[in-house]
Amino acid sequence: MTLFYLISILVVIADQAAKWAVRSKMQLGETIPVWSGHLQFTYYENSGAAFSSFQGFGPYFAIVAVAFVAAVFYYRRKGVLRGPLLEAASGFLVGGAIGNAMDRVIYHQVTDFLVFGSRGGILNLADLAINAGGLLVLVHLLKKPLKRFSLKR
């Protein structure tokens, strides 16, 4: 099994398990402090997108997620997304997209519960995976320019 599939599957499983635990053990709006001032669990249902924007349009984002996943598979098949960095990045992105799309299709909203810091937004594991994937894509894009810069010194 390639790194892409391994990460994608692990992200979906961890994300859905965590969301199930939150939905079954917490009341909507309930907050549980985990690490004083740094992390808390707050059960929230988001029917929109990031930062609670576009409330009520969640099902449309499921369509976007399916199109995104299809595009990743297409570019993987063409050999564009190869190498450990892009395998991992696309695995995190696809796993996160599938995790949130599953919520949107099944529940018509996404379960969020992670709050970092006192003024942070509210996220879930799929969101963290998408951020990790985006960061790895950025590292991939900066790898060559940074290498050239360090060789010139």
pLDDT above 90: residue 86: yes
Residue 31 DSSP code:
E
Distance of alpha carbon 2 from the chain centroid = 19
The average pLDDT across 69-78 equals 94
Write down the domain spans for the chain. 3-117+129-152
How long is the chain?
A: 153
Give the confidence band of 149 by pLDDT, cuts at 50, 70, 90. Answer: low
pLDDT for 36 equals 78
Q: How many CB atoms lie within 10 A of CB 60?
A: 13
Assigned token pair, 85:
């960095």
Tokens 């969640």, located at residue: 58
Q: Are 149 and 98 a contacting pair, CB within 8 Å?
A: no
pTM higher than the cut 0.75? yes
Q: Are 92 and 129 a contacting pair, CB within 8 Å?
A: yes
Tokens 């996404």, located at residue: 110
Write out pLDDT tens, residues 11-50: 999 999 999 999 999 999 998 988 877 899 999 998 766 6
Assigned token pair, 121:
């937004």
pLDDT for 152 equals 62
pLDDT for 148 equals 67
Residues with catalytic roles: 112, 127
pLDDT above 60: residue 101: yes
CA–CA separation, 29 and 44 (whole Å): 6
The average pLDDT across 141-150 equals 75
What is the percent of the chain where pLDDT is above 70? 87
The average pLDDT across 57-80 equals 88
pLDDT above 60: residue 58: yes
CA–CA separation, 24 and 13 (whole Å): 16
